[in-house]
């Protein structure tokens, strides 16, 4: 639960939670969308540089110290955000938010949860990743209400209390563990030891997962970071646009939890391909059938929620816990790079054409490419595999 709350704070407040402030920032400072969305590239590319080091640290000292550092930094940055007056201030603050994503984001939270629930990995991953969806349901409407009542600067200051409260709960209640070193039964210990890092990254499965994850994150962050403004361009109200973000997060939550539970019982490889198809259908409808936009927001979110769980679950299932920090961090690097380019490239393509039409074509093309890559992701030919062998 605490790992889930930490992920809810770090992911949501940096991603969906900040997009609600975009319109106010653009109106006050007259920046272009491309200039503003460059901050997301700084987030994710910075996190991709830092996450490998954090992964190695987690393997040595456990997940709690990085988690507490990230939550502390998030509190400071959110409060400081309310005092910005120049574009460079935002860029500098997002360098710090990159540290938050690396140290208190999905990778650290998932390893923490799995080390505490080693016999229910799928459920542990799903519950942890559900944090960002739960936060996405709550924070956008909350931020919209705070902005309407207090203005965007004071709204930032009030939201800074959220990671501070979670930090205190983590410090008081969460027990630290180092993945792969807890005492377990012999069969479970073998599964936790898993594959060495150098051997894992040379496998076809790892390469395909890493590239597909990068492409998928490009698409999902491109959509999520621009959904509010896309809805506004279709003449939805600000409140309706923020509710679309909440719907996206709520259905994504269902996808994460359902897929996490299902992956403990069915082939995760088949589930991955199915969820890729679901997300692709959702994106097509979102872009080209806007009259049904609420339906396709939900379809896209469900597919994405399942994929978010499956990327992390399959890595742990294929390669075990011996080098989980470094292995998951390497894929997180690809995810962060894809996410960073997705947000910024979509903003640049919007400025280039004056609408989202060209960006939509690029997003769909990359989603198709990622879907094709998942066809080559199959179980390893090794006795370390502890997932359903079906494909």
The domain spanning residue 199 has which CATH number?
A: 1.20.1250.20
So what's the pLDDT on residue 384? Answer: 42
- The answer to whether position 382 is within a domain reads no
Q: Calculate Rg over the CA atoms of the chain.
A: 20
Residue 28 has pLDDT above 90, yes or no: yes
Yes or no: say if 119 and 188 are a contact pair by the CB < 8 Å rule: yes
Residue 253 is assigned to a structural domain of this protein: yes
Is the per-residue pLDDT at 101 higher than 50?
A: yes
Range of the domain at 328: 2-374
Alpha helical stretches, state H, 13-105: 13-14, 16-19, 22-29, 33-61, 64-81, 87-104
The rounded distance, in Å, linking the Cα atoms of 329 and 107 is 6
- Identify the CA nearest to 12 among candidates 62, 78, 96: 78
Is 45 inside a domain boundary? yes
**pLDDT over 70 (residue 390):** no
Higher-confidence residue of 325 and 75: namely 75
| φ, ψ of residue 257 in degrees (nearest 5) | -70, -45
What is the CB-side half-sphere exposure of residue 2 using CA atoms within 13 A? 19
For position 10, what pLDDT does the model report? Answer: 86
Asked if residue 213 belongs to a domain, the reply is: yes
Mean pLDDT of the chain: 85
Higher-confidence position of 379 and 216: 216
Q: What is the pLDDT of residue 391?
A: 36
* pTM reported for the whole predicted model: 0.69
User: Please, which pLDDT band fits residue 179 given cuts at 50, 70 and 90?
Assistant: low
Residue 64 lies in a domain: yes
**Statement: residue 250 has pLDDT above 90:** no
Q: How many distinct structural domains can be found in the chain? A: 1
For 383, counting Cβ atoms within 10 Å of its Cβ (0-12 exposed, 13-18 middle, 19+ buried), the class is exposed
Domain assignment of residue 252, yes or no = yes
């Amino acid at each position: 639960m605490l790992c889930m709350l930490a992920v809810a704070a770090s992911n949501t407040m940096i991603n969906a939670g900040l997009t609600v402030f975009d319109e106010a920032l653009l109106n006050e400072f007259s920046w272009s969308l491309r200039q503003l969305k460059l901050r997301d590239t700084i987030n994710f590319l910075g996190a991709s540089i830092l996450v490998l080091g954090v992964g190695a640290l987690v393997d040595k000292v456990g997940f709690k110290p990085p988690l507490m550092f990230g939550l502390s930094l998030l509190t400071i940055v959110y409060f400081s955000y309310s005092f910005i007056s120049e574009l460079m201030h935002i860029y500098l603050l997002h360098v710090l938010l990159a540290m938050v994503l690396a140290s208190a984001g999905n990778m650290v939270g998932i390893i923490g949860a799995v080390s505490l629930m080693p016999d229910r990995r799928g459920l542990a991953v799903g519950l942890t990743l559900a944090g960002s969806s739960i936060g996405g349901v709550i924070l956008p409407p909350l931020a919209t209400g705070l902005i309407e009542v207090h203005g965007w600067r004071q709204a930032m200051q009030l939201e800074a209390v959220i990671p501070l409260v979670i930090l205190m709960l983590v410090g008081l209640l969460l027990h630290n563990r180092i993945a792969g070193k807890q005492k377990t039964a012999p069969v479970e210990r073998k599964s936790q030891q898993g594959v060495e890092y150098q051997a894992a990254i040379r496998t076809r499965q790892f390469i395909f997962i890493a590239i597909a994850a990068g492409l998928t994150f490009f698409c999902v962050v491109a959509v999520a970071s621009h959904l509010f403004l896309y809805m506004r361009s279709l003449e939805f109200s600000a409140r309706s646009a923020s509710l679309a973000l909440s719907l996206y997060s709520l259905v994504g939550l269902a996808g994460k939890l359902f897929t996490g539970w299902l992956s403990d019982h069915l082939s995760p490889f088949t589930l991955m391909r199915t969820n890729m198809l679901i997300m692709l259908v959702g994106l097509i409808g979102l872009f080209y059938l806007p009259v049904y936009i609420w339906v396709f927001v939900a379809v896209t979110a469900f597919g994405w929620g399942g994929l978010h769980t499956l990327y992390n679950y399959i890595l742990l299932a294929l390669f075990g816990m011996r080098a989980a920090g470094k292995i998951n961090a390497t894929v997180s690097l690809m995810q962060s790079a894809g996410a960073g380019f997705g947000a910024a490239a979509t903003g640049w393509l919007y400025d280039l054409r004056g609408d989202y039409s060209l960006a939509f074509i690029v997003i769909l093309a990359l989603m198709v490419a990622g879907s094709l890559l998942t066809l080559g992701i199959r179980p390893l030919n090794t006795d370390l595999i502890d997932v359903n062998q079906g494909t």
